[in-house]
Amino acid sequence: MAKIVNSAEFNNEIKDGVVVVDFFATWCGPCKMLAPIFEELSTEMEGKVKFIKVDVDQCPDISMQYSVASIPTIIVFKDGKNVNTTVGFVPKERIKEIVEAYI
């Protein structure tokens, strides 16, 4: 299951390996559509990739740091570096394809 992280935890969570971050808000319709897909991928890819979530309303500093202007935004980090950014709702197969390119 994808963990919701706060500003204090974020940098530690993304520093090692491949980490997929879902920038979301509780009021966002497309974010709600993406949530079950994100959870499925978190379960399917457990042990290979870490999946975490950032609530943009709770962590505006992180959102600004990574120029998240629209949600949902998915950012793939590899060893702490942003290697891919996808904005808007994306089907499960496409997200998996993007993530697998960095494993």
pLDDT tens digit sequence for 45-94: 999 999 999 999 999 999 999 999 999 999 999 999 999 999 999 999 99
The catalytically annotated residue of 19, 21, 31, 68 is 31
| CB contact at 8 A, 87 and 33 | no
* Cα–Cα distance measured from residue 82 to residue 4, given in angstroms and rounded to the nearest whole number: 19
- The number of residues in the chain equals 103
Q: What is the model's pLDDT at position 1?
A: 80
28, 45, 68, 74: which is the annotated catalytic residue? Answer: 28
Homologous superfamily (CATH) for 3-100: Glutaredoxin (3.40.30.10)
d(CA 89, CA 103): 22
Any catalytic annotation for residue 59? Answer: no
